[in-house]
């Protein structure tokens, strides 16, 4: 297994770790989590750990793609598992944030629905030997998603002191971009669906 695929595997393994750390009933177990005041925001040690797991996962996403392209280490396994690992960590985090009412449940519903539609179109296109590249809107969606999730995990750090709900603004912006990019992707590539009907 080459280095990019190892990094992708680490990202996959970070998903169950994130879930376990997020869902452990610390209070019920009598575990007291230290809380720190950072830049006008209260951050618990748990918040910091969850952010680090997510941030390291996002970093491996960038690194595995960069190394695979630069060193010509692109493999069929990598092409298959990399987008799955990306979606698992992001969508898992969004669902967990929705479960604790940090974000509205409609946010992960829209984002996951968009991903399913885009993946379905790509699958149909691949059967016709057509590779559909990611759009600029898709890349903008990923960037705003990552920034929003980091802000949410860090309790809107910096902006909380300014009384600006930037974490919520960013996650709703990411949701809007996700929706628009999904519609755009469908409209541009709908012929592959129509041809298979």
Burial class (CB in 10 A: 0-12, 13-18, 19+), 7: buried
- Among 40-44, 117-121, 126-130, 138-142, where is mean pLDDT lowest? 126-130
> Cα angle at 144 between 116 and 100, to 5 degrees?
75
Confidence tier at 53 by pLDDT (50, 70, 90): very high
Kindly report which listed range (73-87, 109-123, 160-174) carries the lowest average pLDDT score.
Answer: 73-87
- Record the pTM: 0.90
């Amino acid at each position: 297994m080459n280095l990019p695929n190892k990094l992708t595997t680490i990202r996959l393994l970070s998903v169950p770790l994130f879930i376990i750390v997020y869902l452990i009933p610390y209070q019920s177990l009598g575990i007291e989590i230290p809380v720190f005041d950072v830049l006008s925001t209260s951050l618990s040690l748990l918040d910091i750990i969850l952010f680090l797991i997510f941030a390291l996962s996002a970093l491996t996403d960038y690194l595995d793609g960069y190394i695979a392209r630069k060193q010509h280490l692109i493999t069929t396994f990598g092409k298959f598992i990399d987008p799955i690992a990306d979606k698992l960590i992001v969508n898992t985090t969004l669902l967990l944030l929705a479960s604790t009412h940090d974000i509205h449940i409609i946010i992960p519903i829209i984002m996951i629905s968009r991903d399913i539609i885009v993946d379905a179109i790509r699958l149909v296109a691949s059967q016709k030997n057509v590779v559909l590249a990611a759009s600029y809107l898709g890349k903008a969606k990923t960037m705003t998603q990552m920034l929003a999730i980091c802000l949410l995990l860090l309790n809107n750090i910096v902006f909380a002191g300014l009384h600006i709900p930037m974490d919520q603004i960013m996650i709703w912006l990411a949701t809007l971009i996700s929706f628009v990019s999904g519609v755009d992707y469908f409209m541009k590539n709908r012929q592959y669906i129509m041809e298979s009907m």
